[in-house]
Amino acid sequence: MLRSDNIQVRSQLSTTQRRMLQEKQQVMDYLRQIENDLIEKEQIKQRESILRKDFDKLQLIHKQDRQDIEKLNLQIDQDKQKLDQLEQERLQLFKTIQNIDDNKGNLETELDSYKSAAKRLYTYFKIPFDSIHSIDQLIPMLEDRYRTEQVSQARIHDIQLVKSATDTNHEHETEEIRQLREDLLSMNIQLKQLNDANQAWQQYQQNQIILLRDRLNLTNIDNLSFDDIAQQIENRFNILNNELIELQDVKKTTEIQAVSALYIKDDLYQSKDTQTEDAQEYKPTEKDESAEILIQQLTTNSKQYEEELRELRENLATLTTQTSQLDEANQAWQQYHRTQLDNFRNKLQPSLPIEIELSLDDIAQYIANYLDQMQNERENLREQLQTSENLINDLRSQSTDNILTTQENFASTINELNQKLLLIKQQNDQLETEKFILNQQILNQESSLSKHETKPSAPDSTLSGAHLVPRHTDTPPVHESEIHSVMPVQSASPLTIAHDQELAQLRETVTILTAQCAQLDEANRAWQQYNQTQVQDFQSKLKDYLPLDQNTSLDSSAEQIIERILKTKEDFNVTNEALREEIVNIRL
Distance of alpha carbon 329 from alpha carbon 320, whole angstroms: 14
Are 548 and 41 in contact, with CB atoms under 8 Å apart?
A: yes
CB atoms within 10 A of CB 432: 11
pTM higher than 0.75: no
Give the span between the Cα atoms of 556 and 124, in whole angstroms.
129
Task: Report yes or no: 298 and 304 within 8 Å, Cβ to Cβ.
Answer: yes
User: Do 196 and 63 touch, CB atoms closer than 8 A?
Assistant: no
Question: Residue 479: its pLDDT value, please?
Answer: 39
Which range, 41-50, 177-186, 451-460, has the best average confidence (pLDDT)? Answer: 41-50
Q: Which amino acid is at 370?
A: Y
Averaged pLDDT for residues 549-556: 63
What is the overall mean pLDDT for the chain? 64
Least confidently predicted of 25-29, 192-196, 293-297, 538-542? 293-297
Contact 191, 326 (CB under 8 A): yes
Rounded distance between C-alpha atoms, residue 381 and residue 73, angstroms: 11
Q: Which of these ranges, 62-66, 139-143, 295-299, 516-520, has the smallest mean pLDDT?
A: 295-299
Helices then strands (H, E): number in the chain?
Answer: 11, 1
In which element (H, E) is residue 549 found? strand 548-551
Q: What is the DSSP letter of 354?
A: -
Q: Is 548 helix (H, G, I), strand (E, B) or coil?
A: strand
CB crowding 535-548: b at 16 or more within 10 Å, else e: beebbeebbebbbb
For residue range 457-480, what is the model confidence (pLDDT) as tens digits?
444 433 333 333 333 334 334 333
DSSP H helices in 301-359: 302-348
Q: What is the helix, strand, coil percentage profile of the chain, to 5? A: 85, 0, 15
